[in-house]
Amino acid sequence: MLRYRLLQHTADIAIEVWGNSIDDLFKSSVEAWLDLSIEQKIFCANEKKQIKLSTTTLEELLKEFLSEINYMLHVKKWLTTSVDKISITEIENSFVLSATIVGEPIDFNKYQIQEEIKAVTFHQLKIEEKDNFFSTKIVFDI
Amino acid sequence: MKIGGIEINKIHDNLWEIPAFGGMKVPGRIYASQKMLETQISNDEALKQVVNVAHLPGIQKYSLAMPDIHWGYGFPIGGVAATDIDEGVISPGGVGYDINCGVRVAVTNLEYKSVQDKIKKLIDSLFNNVPTGVGSSGAIRKLSIKELQDVLLKGAEWAVENDFGTNDDLLHTEENGRLKSADPSTLSKRAIERGLDQAGTLGSGNHFLEIDVVEEVFDAEKAEVMEIFPGQVVIQIHSGSRGLGYQVCDDFLKILVQAEKKYGFKLPDRQLTCAPVKSQEGENYLSAMRCAGNFAWNNRQIIMHLTKKCLLQTLKMSESELGFHLIYDVCHNIAKIEDHVIDGKKKTVCVHRKGATRAFQPGNSQIPPKYKSIGQPVLIPGDMGRYSFIAVGTQRAMEETFGSTCHGAGRVHSRHEAIRLSKGKNLREELDKSGVIVQAKGFKTIAEEMPFAYKDVSEVVDVMHKAGISKKVAKFRPVGVIKG
């Protein structure tokens, strides 16, 4: 089940996304990005890629992670369909992400782009935690 | 009165002021009718963003909002702010992701009634020859990195050098289609990569290529100078800097978030991230933004040339019979270093126009000789079912808005709402019945861009006309549209 909902926004796409841990929140954010970006809902890709990122805040890390996946789709034409493994650690005032993502080179006969996300913004991006439940708003510039 | 907890005072029927409070360095000023203010502008966070922009270091006179203002990233869309170049800042949020998104209008000798039955054929030909839609590419061959760097440096001049237009086109483009002091080495590898195959492509979203008919002329004298007459076929192109521009914005937001900490700015919103105009970070952003701006001008120039070729081939006419030439090209997402008179003294400022159009007065040295007597043409597109406007800049714009006016209609319904409201309708047929032939990649784009999803642009244009900022010259009605 998808773990996000659309919020009211006239010009762009705003969502609220949630998860049971920080790692899980990052995963559900990718699922939301995929649901918005691609029309089809069933995927069976099996190629794997590694992503490593480091930033000074968790919000920057989430923005960078989604931006990377979005860049891979629109420039490298490689569609991420799920997150296999993800680990986020705090090391000396910085946050480090290491992830294995699953996907495939996009075949436009098989998949249609539903929404061209131009960019993932900092707009309203604030990761909040309550009783081990994590959530944030994300605004995509389209 | 108070809107969303913000005190707002009436200056006149079409101008409102938010007095400075808290950390605001200047008051906010909004051009709008009372109805727009109460029923549209109050619906989102745009007014709060006008207040936030007033906190920027070095901001001059007012944080300004045009009547098509809506919620944006940091700045509202429809926001204008000028900052002192010595003590002020530059903010990518004051330009937007689609750097130099803009509009150009070209005229023809054709009367609509003589080509009415060929519009469908023309739209099909344009749809086949101008790449549209998500990630569209291949309008011209893929450029080498060296060629792209040349485009970033030269803007529309590159297109003209490569036979995609004439010197006359350059003369009638804002900044002659080229912003100087653009150094391609300030762009990331990713930004370059995104530009290689996108020159001459329209893109997706609200970008379009339209065949319009001049429906009404408001000022015959000025229309004559622009060679516009009722019933005439004109072409309107709305596009920007594509993926390259988005990447420049994204890259510099990252850099400037770090710079902001270094310079110790205290801003009410992280999205207003900025750097001093005269810092390394600020200058690098300005340079990269100019490169993206140049990419966009080259883009619109190539699209216009492809359009001209389609018209010549489809209508089987000679160039002189067609009489196709550019009226003007404006950008509505940009920051520029300009001289303005502030408190009686000439001052050099960095004018951010985000969803706002330059509107310079008659006699200004920056506008082409042809328009010196009437003022700079201002192109204001509406939605694809109703109309667009052409206006001219005024002295009053120089005095009140740093020579700026509105840029379009602005949405009233989100894209998702528009799709929901369109379900079960035959949109192509509906538009066809109202006299507009549409070609787009799919139902979704048409649904998102349906006229009901937008404000009535005539209300926006009228506010600026009555306020004396930009004066209406003519109104166009669409008869054929291609969308991404």
- Inspect the interface and report whether the beta carbons of B204 and A11 lie closer than 8 Å: no
Active-site residue, selected from the candidate residues B55, B407, B413, B465: B407
Residue B438 pairs in a beta bridge with B481
Q: Output phi, psi for B442, to 5 deg.
A: -165, 175
Q: State how far the Cα of B258 lies from the Cα of B88, in Å rounded to an integer.
A: 18
Q: State how far the Cα of B205 lies from the Cα of B411, in Å rounded to an integer.
A: 12
Is pTM beyond 0.90? Reply is: yes
d(CA A116, nearest CA chain B) in Å: 6
Position A32 scores a pLDDT of 97
Compute the Cα dihedral for B377, B388, B74, B446 and give only its sign. negative
Tens digit of each residue's pLDDT (9 = 90 or more) over B120-138? 999 999 999 988 877 677 7
Position B123 scores a pLDDT of 96
Position B42 scores a pLDDT of 83
Residue B191 with chain A: CB contacts under 8 Å: none
Q: Which two structure tokens, joined as six digits, stand for B310?
A: 């389609």
B/e letters for A38-61, b = 16+ CB within 10 Å, e = fewer, are beeeebebeeebebebebebbbbb
- Inspect the interface and report whether the beta carbons of B71 and A11 lie closer than 8 Å: yes
Q: Which two structure tokens, joined as six digits, stand for B297?
A: 């001008």
Q: Is A71 on the interface with B (CB under 8 A)?
A: yes
Beta-strand relationship, B437-439 and B470-483 = parallel
* Annotation marks residue B407 as catalytic: yes
- pLDDT over 80 (residue A11): no
Q: Return the number of CB contacts < 8 Å for A and B.
A: 63
Angle (CA) B359-B293-B298 rounded to 5° is 105
Q: Output phi, psi for B179, to 5 deg.
A: -90, 130
Please tell me whether residue B173 adopts helix, strand or coil conformation: strand
Residue given tokens 């990649």 in the structure block: B441
Position B271 scores a pLDDT of 85
Cβ proximity of B480 and B218 under 8 Å = no
Distances (CA, A) of B102 to B43, B171, B331, B394: 26, 16, 4, 20
Q: Would you put residue B395 in left (φ > 0), alpha (ψ -120 to 50) or beta?
A: alpha
Q: Which two structure tokens, joined as six digits, stand for A67?
A: 């931006």
- Inspect the interface and report whether the beta carbons of A116 and B414 lie closer than 8 Å: no
Nearest alpha carbon to residue B460 among B70, B17, B75, B82: B70
Tens digit of each residue's pLDDT (9 = 90 or more) over A48-62? 999 999 999 999 999
Q: Which of B194, B413, B415 sits opposite A75 (nearest CB)?
A: B194
Q: Is B77 on the interface with A (CB under 8 A)?
A: yes
Q: Could you tell me which residues come within 8 angstroms of residue A44 by beta carbon, excluding any fewer than 6 positions away?
A: none
Residue given tokens 């006016």 in the structure block: B405
- pLDDT over 90 (residue A9): no
Secondary structure string (H, E, C) spanning B381-392: CCCCCCCEEEEE
Cβ proximity of B472 and B218 under 8 Å = yes
**Residue A91 CA neighbour count, 13 Å, CB half:** 9
Tens digit of each residue's pLDDT (9 = 90 or more) over A113-139? 888 898 999 888 999 999 989 999 999
Position B203 scores a pLDDT of 84
Position B280 scores a pLDDT of 96
Rg (CA), chain A: 14
Position B214 scores a pLDDT of 98
Q: Is A2 on the interface with B (CB under 8 A)?
A: no
Cβ-in-10-Å burial (0-12, 13-18, 19+) of B236 comes to buried
Q: Is A8 on the interface with B (CB under 8 A)?
A: yes
Q: State how far the Cα of A124 lies from the Cα of B6, in Å rounded to an integer.
A: 20
Position B328 scores a pLDDT of 98
Q: Which of residues 100-129 of A touch B (CB under 8 A)?
A: 112-116, 118-119, 121-123
ipTM for this prediction:
0.88
Position B71 scores a pLDDT of 87
The type of residue at B379 is: L
- Inspect the interface and report whether the beta carbons of A116 and B135 lie closer than 8 Å: yes
Segments of chain B with pLDDT less than 70: 135
